[in-house]
Amino acid sequence: MLVNLDLHNNSFSGSIPQSLSNLISLSLLDLSSNSLSGEIPKSLTDLQYLTSLNLSFNRLEGEVPDGGAFANLTMQSLIGNLALCGSAKQGLPACKVSDTKTSRTSSIMLKYVLPSLLFGLAVSVILFYVLLSNKKQKSRGHNPTELLLSRVHQRFVSEQELVHATNNFNETNILGVGNSGSVYKGLLEDGMIVAIKVLKLGSSEQALKRFEKECEMMRNVRHRNIVKIISICSTENFKALILQYMPNNSLDKWLHSSQDHKLSILERVCIVSDVASALEYLHHGCSRPVVHSDVKPSNILLDGNMVGHLGDFGISKLFSGDKSATPTSTLGTLGYVAPEYGLSGKSSIQGDIYSFGILLLETFTGRKPTDAMFSSGSNIRQWVEESFSDAILKIVDANMLRDDDETHSDDGDNIELGVAQAKRKCLSSVLELGLLCSSGMPKERMAMKDVAVRLNKIKMELVSVT
């Protein structure tokens, strides 16, 4: 008999088949992180042994059933389905009574009948596998109720566990503080060190939407240079994202902290190359392009090996079809926002590229775009452009040059000269790339896939001489 059915993160679409209610021994059902749509079958309430149900991050709609496993269901098991309605204790809006409910349901059934059949077929294949597997297990003396699939997915973390993990959210564990909440370092019960992003109680509706947006975006994107989401804890009075912990903090801290933080030229090139790889994936590697909308050093987090990871997807945008821009009420951070945003009020892929160009200039000059030296009408791009051809070493971050070790040998002077020339060429190439990406004209900016290729080439050339 089937006790646990874990089908999370399998790209299933269509509606949830009614036939699942025939699995009378089911104790755990996980359908999270798919693209399931339509209404939740009320027949699932007949599963009297079902104690663990996870339907989060799908496209389900309509009223959440009462009774059975749904009686004690929390928002954590339903989050990411923006069209559900039901009980207030689950954090859901009240359902509206409509005379067109019958026709709407019929329309939904027609729209999703084929995907539903495909999903039902997948479940049938799995059930056949279980029956066959159980038959073999009985002949070998194995327990027939063991899990069908290993549960390698987002683990559930309770609010109480997070309280213990952070020593009651002690200030000594704070990694950062923002307008809508704080980020804490925490130690989970299984020994995993994580970053816990807690939404401040009484936050605005906009902050709540950012939280939901970040949950939705981060569960859909998977890349080695994007901060990984471990889990979500969401109740009516508490909301938190549990994220991959980055022991080396942010690029911003390394560039501007008063502490003795120094990054070599190679380290900086590697980090911006990591960020370019993440943005290339968001713009060109997802099923629908994703615009981050807030690319800046404080959102670039560094792991134990100083590998860069792009984080904070709170105001990101997901495009559909051939849209190149979408209206936004949140434009990003002053100094990194593309000039056309002020005119159109629309975020775009080109806006991300502009922000990345400013990030390149800041990373290698050590100057913020909001530095006081730019208060008289100039900006960081103009400053770099004016000094680019003949005074490049005067504008780059002196810490970067001072901290780099030169290679010595019997012919040390020649090698040092070669390394110095390679570094100057690297700096020139990177700053030129920054100027191209931050052009005032969106059409003149390079695509991120081309930027990533250029930066990787610069990195390889630098590695070969250092």
What positions carry a catalytic annotation?
294
Residue 438, both tokens: 């931050």
User: What does the longest C-alpha to C-alpha distance in the chain come to?
Assistant: 89
Angle, alpha carbons 133-139-142 (nearest 5°): 70
To the question of whether residue 296 is assigned a binding role by annotation, the answer is no
CA distance 213 to 314: 6
Contacts of 34-38 with CB under 8 Å at 24 or more apart are 34/7, 34/8, 34/9, 34/10, 34/58, 35/11, 35/59, 36/12, 36/60, 36/119, 37/13, 37/61, 37/108, 37/112, 37/115, 38/14, 38/62, 38/108, 38/109, 38/112, 38/116
Helix (H) or strand (E) holding 178: strand 174-178
Cα torsion through 69, 74, 76, 78, rounded to 10: 60
Angle, alpha carbons 22-24-28 (nearest 5°): 110
DSSP-assigned letter for residue 266:
H
Whats the size of the chain, residue-wise? 466
CA distance 73 to 236: 12
Closest listed residue to residue 98, CA positions, set 85, 80, 115, 116:
85
Residues 6+ apart with CB under 8 A from 224: 277, 307
Q: Where are the beta strands (DSSP E) in 236-381?
A: 239-244, 290-291, 300-302, 308-310, 317-318, 325-327, 346-348
3-state secondary structure of 119: helix
Contacts of 226-230 with CB under 8 Å at 24 or more apart are 226/278, 226/281, 226/282, 226/309, 226/310, 226/311, 227/301, 227/309, 227/310, 227/311, 229/154, 230/154, 230/155, 230/157, 230/192, 230/194
CA distance 197 to 216: 15
Strands 317-318 and 13-14: unpaired
Per the CB < 8 A criterion, the answer to whether 199 and 207 are in contact is yes
